[in-house]
Structure 1
Amino acid sequence: MDQSVERDRDEEGRARSARPRDGLGRPLPYGAQGVARQPEGVVRSPEETVADAQALLDAGKPFHAHEVFEDAWKTGPEEERALWRGLAQLAVGLTHAARGNLTGGPRLLRRGAGAVAEWAAGSGRAYGMDLTGVVRWARALADEVERTGAAVDAGRHAPRLR
C-alpha cells in the first residue's frame, strides 16, 4: 500500500473510510456513485430503529441496517444493548451471506440468533418484533447457506422483524 496516500480520519484520528459503498457495504473506487451511508450516532426510538432497519433490509441493504442497529446498541440503555447488538450481528451475517462469505455469514447469523434468543428468553421488551421468528429465520438461513454453498440475495432473504 502506498504510504503517501492520506487515510481518511475523524476528529480523534480514527480511520474512517470516505469511499463510496455499494448496497452491501463494499467499498467502491473513489468517485464512483455509491449508496448513501447511514449517519453514525443517530438516536432513534426503538420503534424508529426497527422501522428504519426493516426498510433497509427490505431494500437489500443489510450492511446499512446493521448501522441502524449499531446506533441503538451504542446510544440506547445499557439493559437493551444485547438485543440491538444481536440484531446488528444478524444484519452483518446477512451481509456476509449475500457477499458470498460462506463461513462468516452463517457464523454471524448463528451468533446473532443466540444473542436474540437469549434476550427473548429473559422476557426483554421486543418493541413489536417477532424475536422467535427472527431467530428461526437466522438459523434457517445459516443452514441454507451452508447446504447450498451459494451467496443469497439480501433483499429476497431479508427477515421480517414484525
Structure 2
Amino acid sequence: MDGRDRDAEGRARSARPRDGLGRPLPYGEPGVERQPEGVVRTPAETVEEAQRLLDAGMPFHAHEVFEDAWKSGPPAAAPLWRGLAQLAVGLTHAARGNAVGGARLLRRGADALAGQDAAPEGAYGVDVSGLVRWARELAGRVERGEGIDAAAEAPRLRAARGSRGPA
C-alpha cells in the first residue's frame, strides 16, 4: 500500500476534509461535505444545484456540478457546462486570493460562453450574456487587487424577471 487515500475502485482520492472553497484542511478538522461525483441531473436540476452552491459561497462545489453535466450530458451542451465550470473555478481562485488564476479562468470561461446563447434549448435558461459581462467585470476587479467574497459575488445563473442578469 502506498499510503494514499483510495476509493473503492482503487483510484487515488484525498480523504482530507475541505473548506467551502475546496481547500484541503488537516485530517480530523470539520469540513464541508463534498459533492458526490458522477451525478446525472437534468439541466434544470444542474442550474438549481449550482446556484444553491454559488449562493452559499461554494463555487468549487458548483464547478463539480457543472463538470458532471458536461461529462454526462449531450456533447452539444458540453461547451456551455464547461464554460460555466470555468467561471466557478475562476470565482474559487479569486476568493482564495489567487488574482492571476482567478482573472484568467474568469476570462477563459467568459470567452467559452460567448455565443452560447444559441446552445441547445437556448442554453437551458442560463443568462449567458449576463454571465459573460459579470465574469469580465469581476476579472478586472480581481486584477486591481479587490478582495473577493465568493458568496457576495455569486452570479445569478438565470436572469430574474425584470433584472439585468447576474448580480
TM-score scaled to structure 1, two decimals?
0.92
The unaligned stretches of length 5 or more in structure 2 are 159-167
In structure 2, the residue matched to 1:137 is 134
Q: Deviations over 1:15-74 (max 9, x none)?
A: 211111000000001111000110000000000000000000000000000000000011
- How far off its partner does 1:9 sit? 2.0
In structure 1, the residue matched to 2:149 is 153
The RMSD of aligned alpha carbons is 1.3
In structure 2, the residue matched to 1:117 is 114
CA distance in 1, matches of 2:31, 2:50: 19
Q: Quick check: 1:22–1:35 contact (8 Å CA) kept in 2?
A: yes
Q: Quick check: 1:8–1:16 contact (8 Å CA) kept in 2?
A: yes
The unaligned stretches of length 5 or more in structure 1 are none
Q: What is the percentage of aligned positions where both structures have the same residue?
A: 72
Q: Quick check: 1:70–1:88 contact (8 Å CA) kept in 2?
A: yes
In structure 1, the residue matched to 2:93 is 96
SS at match of 1:16: coil
State how 1:1-162 maps to structure 2 within 5 Å: 6-120=3-117, 123-124=118-119, 125-147=122-144, 149-162=145-158
CA distance in 1, matches of 2:127, 2:27: 40
Structure 2 letter corresponding to 1:24: L
CA distance in 2, matches of 1:17, 1:116: 31
- Matched residues, number: 156
